[in-house]
Structure 1
Amino acid sequence: MSRLLLVVVAVTWLISGCGAGASDGPERPDYTPVPDHKLISQVAALPGVERADLSYNDAWPEHSYIATITLSSDADAQLVLDTIYAKLWQGRPGAGILVEAQQNGSVVRLDAFGGKPTTRIALEKRYGPQPGSGTPPTD
């Protein structure tokens, strides 16, 4: 009888999320994310953005904002890209951000991340906890 009781308690404990390391995870934000359609409009309207194809990929394991951006030839590519990342950081909790940008036919990348993939840790280090202000930090 005591073995059955132990099993029932253990299963209940696991299901309730009371186990060590359990968390609410990114599915339960303590803020209301900016809706995707609003983020897409904000990015497309940024000065220096000529064209923005942006969507949210909800297919596992991606769960990412994916953007293909064309920048005007006179745009400050680093400022525009930094602003795009800061804007998207206001969106869905835990979402990855994958931005491919071109300017004058050449690929440009955000130097703020040192050319490394933009992990959630790197995004939080740069833009603070979600949802962020939508403004890149001053360096």
Structure 2
Amino acid sequence: MKRAWTLPVSFAAGGALLAAGLVVDGSSGAAAATFLVFVLIAGLHSPLAFPRSVGALEAQHRSAVDGRPVVYWRAGCKYCLRLRFRLGRNAGRLHWVDIWSDPAGAAAVRAANDGNETVPTVVVAGRAYTNPDPEWVRGQLASSV
């Protein structure tokens, strides 16, 4: 879990340091704006931007029951962010597995991607698709209902 927060905390700390420098220079308005931008970037790269993750085994079980795809992701991945935001409200209907907080999820991704932890990896009906088009994923979700 610590690994998933390294990048967001780094963004927030860097923004705080930059803002502190601007305050010392007498630019408190610019400091506040700079800090806010860095906090927003940190939030986008954190697990908070994604629906709540479940473990890989739980996600596989739920997918077997309801037919919804499983998405393996990690914090800081721009392709995962793209998928998440392009899916919009439908993202909450998928089963999300954070590979940095679930070793079984990381192992499933490595098994599907020749030993690489390439995300997002979406599993539909037992078949893995690496970095699929968000519209395709939306279509798979619609057909699973």
Counting helix residues as a fraction of each chain, which structure ranks higher?
Answer: 2
**Greater C-alpha radius of gyration:** 1
TM-score (norm 2): 0.32
Counting strand residues as a fraction of each chain, which structure ranks higher?
Answer: 1
